[in-house]
Amino acid sequence: MTPEYIIILSFLLVLIQITIPVLISLFSKNKKLSYLFSSRDENSDTSIYEERANRALKNIFETFPIFIGLVLLSIIKDVDNSSLAFFWLIARAIYVPVYILGVDYFRTGVWAVSLISLILMGVKFL
């Protein structure tokens, strides 16, 4: 899989993660559609699953800029990081449902795989 395609899929993953908390809130009937179209000035009840989805979203934003930077640098410097970038993408895709469902130890292992993938991508430039 090409690095360009992996970047596009990673953008898609982020977009999906942005919508998951909204979908959970709608399907759990914690929020009405009118609330989602409002300025959200008042607090509203959230389910544990919605809170986990929001935390998973915040988590991807912690490493996503590093991932994009490493993939772009790989393209510019002609370093083959495709496999590691793909491992990162798969690990992050697995991480979302595992986090939302509260599978604690496995979640940490999946997160570690994504972090190690980033580290190994960076090591290839040394």
Specify the DSSP element, H or E, that contains 40. none
Structural domain count of the chain: 1
Q: Rounded to whole angstroms, what are the CA distances from 36 to 14, 15, 28, 114, 115?
A: 19, 17, 14, 32, 33
pLDDT on residue 120 = 98
Q: What is the structure's pLDDT at 103?
A: 97
Average pLDDT, the chain: 92
pLDDT band at 34 (very low <50, low <70, confident <90, very high): low
Please give the C-alpha separations between residue 58 and each of 5, 51, 62, 68, in angstroms, as whole numbers: 23, 11, 7, 16
Q: What is the pLDDT of residues 55-112, one digit of tens each?
A: 999 999 999 999 999 999 999 999 999 999 999 999 999 999 999 999 999 999 999 9
Q: Which domain holds residue 119?
A: 3-123
Q: What is the CATH number of the domain that holds 109?
A: 1.20.120.550
**CA distances (Å), 65 to each of 72, 77, 106, in order?**
11, 18, 24
First and final C-alpha spacing in the chain:
24
